[in-house]
A and B are shown apart, each in its own frame.
Chain A
Amino acid sequence: MKKWAVIALLVPVFASFAHAQTGTKKRRPLPYEFGEVVIKNYSSNAGLSPVQFDHWLHRAFYTCRLCHVDIGFGMKANATGIRAADNMKGYYCGTCHNGKMMHGDRNIFPSCASKYTKDDLKRCTRCHSKGETVPRDYSFATFVEKFPKERFGNGVDWEKAEEKGLIHPIDSIEGVSIKRPPLATQKDFAIPAKVETMPEIIFSHKKHTVWNGCELCHPEIFPTTRKGTTKFSMVEIFEGKYCGACHLTVAFPTTDCQRCHSKPVR
């Protein structure tokens, strides 16, 4: 009897935990924080601050595909398990951050090293910068100043920025990428919304393949089955599945409903 009383008392307690995540608003990341990834697999063991990676800077210069397919970065923070040794061998960050690679007329600063002087240590904090005040080469405010504005995320319409020729993300690096002729992209199509009277989603492969190719999404995030067989819901997307793999944290966020639910309701 006592046992049952305890269980009965605990059930509502656990039930309230399960729903604790809704009810109020979360803090919305500031424009310069949106897309920030904190990498801390091994940093503290090495006596360093976690790495702060800003998507806003990198995505202006390189396509998503380049890092997430060719270089092999995972799609979730800390899922890649990057080690200093990997970077030194020229994998992950070390693919470009090797002290040799050029970006325009700038030499891309080298990442991790096994031998370093006291002066070199300053370089560590350029990436291992979470919670540190580090002088930066690029200021977010000036960097995005001339880019077309958007209400969410970084406050930048990246798609338009590329259309207008304000950014030119590179899609391949010699020795890392293998260039293949592009596949023909499907025309834009409508995905019916589950909820009645919600506008249908217009999905554009063309807009996605510019930065992602095919392989970033298929077949893992979106199985390549016949059209209409995968049913995805907003609940799953909000959990980080399907579109949510990018559109919660890096690409324009799902709060910008009308950007996808854009087909006028008749």
Chain B
Amino acid sequence: MRRVAGAVVTLLFLCPGGAWGNFALPPEPPPELYGNILISRTYRESRVRPATFSHWSHRRKYTCQVCHTELGFAFRTNDTEITEAENRDGKYCGACHNGNTAFGHEDAHCDKCHNGDLGYGKEKFSEILGLPASKSGNRVDWTKALEEKRIAPAAFLAVKPSSDISYDKTLTLKAEWAFVSPAIFPHKKHTDWLECGSCHPEIFNIRKKTTKHFEMTRILKGEFCGVCHMNVAFPIRDCKRCHPSIKRSQ
């Protein structure tokens, strides 16, 4: 009995979270569906079909911070308390979907969002196929597309951020497991789309030497890097993009 207990304890220490060899990578949707979401928060009560939203069509024109900071969209589907009244008042989707910048809230346009179809608008996907290619996600290397100025997404809508913090330190994060090469984290590639407050201090606290908690098991549950890199930013299965010298890549 004692031996068994001892073995269990040792195992727990060896494989944190009990996930040894069990990286359940999420299934990869077809490129035109990656980053698409259905917003169904009030679907049951309102009986209006869920609203479809595609990240790839929006991120061409706006950086993440426009919607996720300035407009106050949460980072998880259905967390944001979007209502029709707020949209009509110029909040959330209505900040652009007002009939000027993009189609508005007139009856003729309802079905463009409230269609319950995750793949709505996929015929337009060919528009982004000319952008630098990548092996996963939308099959587009968005970082490169931005660096090569192939896309020029706006950084704000109405209120200009005070000034730009060009913090470009690249971090090297030692992997939990001895045989996995370290991960690199370039701040600059992230601040091109986001701002400091998008990630700090809620997703990543700023205490030193706390990086050991960014375990893959937690990332795969949608924490830390997984907040974005599970469903919108390049997917987790693209191992080499974070662990550049890893031997095997999915």
Contact = CB atoms under 8 A, between A and B. Distances in A.
The answer to whether A and B interact is: yes
- In terms of DSSP, what is the predominant structure of the interface of chain A? loop
Interface of B: 2, 5-6, 8-9, 12-13, 16, 69-70, 72, 74-76, 79, 81, 89, 156, 158-159, 161-169, 195-197, 201-207, 210, 213, 218, 222-224, 227
A8 B9 contact: yes
Given A25-B75, A30-B81, A199 B227 contact: no
A195 B168 CA distance: 12
Given A2-B2, A5-B5, A22-B201, A28 B72 contact: yes
A19 B213 contact: yes
Interface of A: 1-2, 5, 8-9, 12, 19, 21-28, 30-31, 141, 149-152, 195-199, 234-235, 238, 253-259, 261-262, 264-265
A34 B96 CA distance: 24
Given A2-B2, A257-B197, A258-B162, A22 B202 contact: yes
A194 to B, nearest CB: 10
29 contacts: A5-B5, A9-B8, A9-B9, A9-B12, A12-B12, A19-B213, A21-B205, A22-B205, A22-B224, A23-B203, A23-B213, A24-B76, A24-B202, A24-B223, A25-B76, A25-B202, A27-B74, A141-B89, A151-B69, A151-B156, A197-B169, A238-B205, A238-B206, A255-B195, A255-B197, A256-B162, A258-B161, A258-B165, A262-B163
A2 B3 CA distance: 10
A156 to B, nearest CB: 11
Given A150-B159, A255-B196, 18 more contacts: A9-B8, A22-B203, A22-B204, A22-B205, A22-B224, A25-B76, A25-B202, A25-B203, A149-B159, A151-B69, A152-B69, A195-B169, A197-B166, A254-B197, A255-B195, A258-B195, A259-B162, A264-B163
